[in-house]
Structure 1
Amino acid sequence: MRQIYVRRCDDADLMTAIRWRSDFDKHVLTVNCDKRGWQRTHSDDEWNVYWANVFSVKALFNPETTTQRLRDDQFVNHFPNHYELTRKDLMVKNIRRYRKDCDKESHIQYYNATANGSALPTAPLAPLHDFVPTTYLLPTDYSLFVEEFRKNPQTTWIMKPANKAQGRGIFLVSKLTQLRKWAAGGGGAAGASGTGTPKDKNPFQALQLREPYVISRYIERPLLIGGKKFDLRLFVLVTNFRPITAYLYEDGFCRFCHENYTSDITELDNLFVHLTNVAVQRRAEDYNEVHGNKWSIANLRLWLECTRGKERADRLFDEMKEIVIVSLKAVKPLMINDKHSFECYGYDILIDETLKPWLVEVNASPSLSTTTDEDRMVKLRLINDILDVVVPPNLAEVGSRVGTSWNDARQVGGFKKILDESPPTGGSFNRKPSEGALQPSRSRLQW
């Protein structure tokens, strides 16, 4: 097991003045804040760093429920409308719109180059990388979905609530009758009659859904390791949306299904085959508590280099980084860019057998629960490095006029800056590793 080295703060008086508040009683948060000498508080107002749930953040930024503005010495771990990226339906809408805007811009550039007689490209600029599976919003897009389904009747689709996590409410369908039966039975909805729906009618018309759903083309040929399906959880820290300042963490992990993968329609209901969520897989009878069905990103990269070659592995990792960058740019115009906010997003990415990465979803509150020793170490380092990036050492004393984006270091701990739209400055405040923070040894993963 790796050793953890603790470096005490150089100025304990400054550090102990920082007060932190949390809606979560998580070991990885408590250890990191205690090691820094911070003081925990349950006060609604007298705090400097607040690790809040999304409901608290909604109330915190709601002008109807709060009249007090946040001070320069107060930081919170969500942007006010983070859901533009983290709700599945809004994520799809925003990326669609961004792709359309980029395609339009590429054609305008091509037209202008042609009209001006300048050096001409041979064709319009290439369309933006397509990384979201074909997705429809229900009930709004039901007719469009049916049209697409009838073009490819052998395709399997995956149905998800737009605003839930940990695999809740997800199921697979391969026939329209399954979807009609679900809607007629009131699945996820109130007030369904249960009497069925005529073949060509929208089964959602008379249905008042409690929440919107998305239905996406299921990736039926995922990359398998040891016969099992897996996806990746990447951690992305954003400290600013205008201009965007974003970091990618080196220590993500792979989450494996418990049972061997099959696309047989008789196994569509077997969640241990199809859903990688830890909350689902932990329910398997012989779930392994030692490794928790997880692999480090470093192990995945080594496996890819050995089986597909270093050049192909490098290209895959570059494409995953591009997915993160494009998705952030897609929501940039919509985000409320509050200087008191930062956010660590959990990106879930699936790789198919051709090594094409697909964005599955983005999580606003990636789990801080730990299921294995290695998981605990990764998340201890993650929280440590988030606080290093975001919190100035003298926050409680002088605050930060620029907010959470004060730190312009290119790399802090395991976080490497992948997108920085801010104008260059004369110098760089490259702070030391966190005073009183956990200082683990690392194996560097180069993105």
Structure 2
Amino acid sequence: MALQQRSQSKHHLAPAHFPPPIPASTVRYRCYWKTIIYDVLQARNWTETESDLEWDFFWSDVSWMHDFFDHVHLAEHQRINHFRNYYELTRKDLLIKNLKRMKKTLERENKLLEASMYNFFPPTYALPAEYGLFVEEFKKNPGVWIMKPVGKAQGKGIFLFTKLSQISEWKKGRWKTDTPQVENYIVQKYIDNPYLVGGKKFDLRIYVLVVSYAPLKAYLYRSGFARFTNSRFTMKKEDIINNFVHLTNFSIQKHAPTYDSKNGTKWPLFNLKLHMITKHGEKVVHDLFRQIEELITRSLLSVQNVIIQDKHCFELYGYDILIDEALKPWLLEVNASPSLAADTTSDYTLKYGMLEDLLTVIDMEKRLTHNACLKQIGGFDLLIEQGKSDLKSKTSQPLLGCFNDRVEQLRKLFKGQACK
């Protein structure tokens, strides 16, 4: 796989750097992706290396994990940005499998209230394995469904349909029993009542950093963005196949005739939250964002026992979440390699700050060793730390989408002042 091109210089507007780079760093880094993460690592004043194993910090791609991770022995201090079987959360079919299993486990343990909270994903079936079950469900619950290949990203291969005959024709030649490598898909009931802003559909991109699965410890980044379609939403029959109406992926929307390259299709999460508070009031919106935080926590708990814990590993996930008109959040998917390229200056600034804070959390320079105040590090807020609190109190205000005071917080943190 070819390396991505480095971020465009017009977006290279790095925020103030905290903590300040150390004069003669001995931290060696290797970076597969030449995007914003590369810019952040360079600004960290670490030493770049192309060595296969002589590195302290490695931002790899997932193919390296498949090909090499099981065949190397890492030193105590080395850190890498994926868990061995990260795909248990990020492959669409395995994510649903793990969520369903967690729900059933809770039901067997008679934890019915908690089991009922696993209601944030629509009816979903893995194809071709569950094609028969899907057909039975479709006959009982017709309407619009959506097909997604499990191994692709950026909206590739996704389409909507309303008739079984459309699938019957489409699957011919794809799922023959004698085919050695069958492309797997999931099929889901399409959420046809999304919450709209300006008549347009959007979903949320939210960043989650997991530093350990055993015990589970994860941080949630305050800033994120809403990804909008260019076209107004409609469920008219003739528009079902129009991806500019139904799919929010930037890789699709940038080709729309009405795409504005100056402003892009993204809106800061902070702005969206303020808009919704103005329209619905603080309590309703805080309840919604609290549900989103709990949704993320429960998804992590669903894979905790299957992800292979390794002290060398951490993971930055990109969560895609849809809100419907009843203000209910739905988990669409989780990305193991969320895009770290930028299409606007504000996009660059958000991702640069987030990645800078991630490196501070990972703490290769051992600046946080004697500081126990870790509920907030830059723009990252502690989401869950098992042994202290599994789910946040329902009375606490959700920090997701709040003002990101990362620079001031880091300044205080590294002056030894207490966090609030």
Counterpart selection for 1:56 from 51, 58, 64: 64
* 1:39 equivalent in alignment to 2:52: no
Contact 1:3/1:440, CA 8 A, preserved across alignment: no
1:3 to partner: Cα distance? 8.0
2-structure distance, mates of 1:126, 1:73: 39
2-structure distance, mates of 1:231, 1:259: 14
| RMSD, aligned CA | 2.4
Task: Classify the secondary structure of the residue corresponding to 1:341.
Answer: coil
Q: What is the identity, as a one-letter code, of the residue corresponding to 2:296?
A: V
1:17 counterpart residue number = 26
2:347 counterpart residue number = 375
1:170 counterpart residue number = 158
Counterpart selection for 2:319 from 344, 347, 352: 347
2:126 counterpart residue number = 137
* 1:72 equivalent in alignment to 2:76: yes
Contact 1:390/1:407, CA 8 A, preserved across alignment: no
1:97 counterpart residue number = 101
Q: What is the identity, as a one-letter code, of the residue corresponding to 2:31?
A: S
2:396 counterpart residue number = none
2-structure distance, mates of 1:182, 1:140: 16
1:445 counterpart residue number = none
2-structure distance, mates of 1:211, 1:250: 36
* 1:4 equivalent in alignment to 2:12: no
Q: 1:168-219 deviations in whole A, cap 9, x for unaligned?
A: 11111100000011111x4xx3xxxxxxxxxxxxx76566653210000000
2-structure distance, mates of 1:208, 1:352: 40
Task: Classify the secondary structure of the residue corresponding to 2:206.
Answer: strand
Contact 2:292/2:329, CA 8 A, preserved across alignment: yes
Which residues of 2 match residues 286-365 of structure 1 at below 5 A? 286-365=258-337
2-structure distance, mates of 1:234, 1:170: 21
Counterpart selection for 2:237 from 246, 265, 271: 265
In structure 2, relative to structure 1, the CA distance for the partners of 1:211 and 1:309 (3 Å cut) is: same
Contact 2:320/2:331, CA 8 A, preserved across alignment: yes
Counterpart selection for 1:241 from 189, 195, 213: 213
Contact 2:264/2:344, CA 8 A, preserved across alignment: yes
1:150 counterpart residue number = 139
Q: What is the identity, as a one-letter code, of the residue corresponding to 2:215?
A: P
Q: What is the identity, as a one-letter code, of the residue corresponding to 1:20?
A: Y
Q: What is the identity, as a one-letter code, of the residue corresponding to 1:175?
A: K
Q: What is the identity, as a one-letter code, of the residue corresponding to 1:234?
A: I
1:119 counterpart residue number = none
2-structure distance, mates of 1:410, 1:264: 47
Counterpart selection for 1:82 from 79, 86, 90: 86
- TM-score, normalised to structure 1, is 0.81
1-structure distance, mates of 2:342, 2:324: 27
2-structure distance, mates of 1:55, 1:374: 30
Contact 1:77/1:344, CA 8 A, preserved across alignment: yes
- Which of 1 and 2 has greater Rg? 1
1:297 to partner: Cα distance? 0.7
2-structure distance, mates of 1:324, 1:344: 13
Counterpart selection for 1:387 from 359, 362, 373: 359
Counterpart selection for 1:411 from 357, 363, 376: 376
Task: Classify the secondary structure of the residue corresponding to 2:109.
Answer: helix
Moved more, 2-11 or 41-50: 2-11
2-structure distance, mates of 1:394, 1:249: 21
2-structure distance, mates of 1:251, 1:371: 17
* 1:183 equivalent in alignment to 2:171: yes
Q: What is the identity, as a one-letter code, of the residue corresponding to 2:151?
A: N
2-structure distance, mates of 1:10, 1:144: 56
1:289 to partner: Cα distance? 1.4
In structure 2, relative to structure 1, the CA distance for the partners of 1:69 and 1:268 (3 Å cut) is: same
Structure 2: gaps spanning 5 or more residues: 1-10, 390-405, 410-420
- TM-score, normalised to structure 2, is 0.86
2-structure distance, mates of 1:135, 1:8: 45
2:398 counterpart residue number = none
2-structure distance, mates of 1:281, 1:181: 28
1-structure distance, mates of 2:93, 2:114: 28
1:9 to partner: Cα distance? 3.6
1:394 to partner: Cα distance? 4.5
Q: 1:261-308 deviations in whole A, cap 9, x for unaligned?
A: 111121111110000001111111231112211111111111111111
1:434 counterpart residue number = none
Q: 1:97-123 deviations in whole A, cap 9, x for unaligned?
A: 00111122225xx9xxxxxxxxxxxxx
Number of positions where the alignment pairs a residue of Structure 1 with one of Structure 2: 381
In structure 2, relative to structure 1, the CA distance for the partners of 1:297 and 1:241 (3 Å cut) is: same
Q: 1:364-421 deviations in whole A, cap 9, x for unaligned?
A: 00000100000000010011011000123159xxxx9x9xxx9871110000001001
2-structure distance, mates of 1:71, 1:369: 31
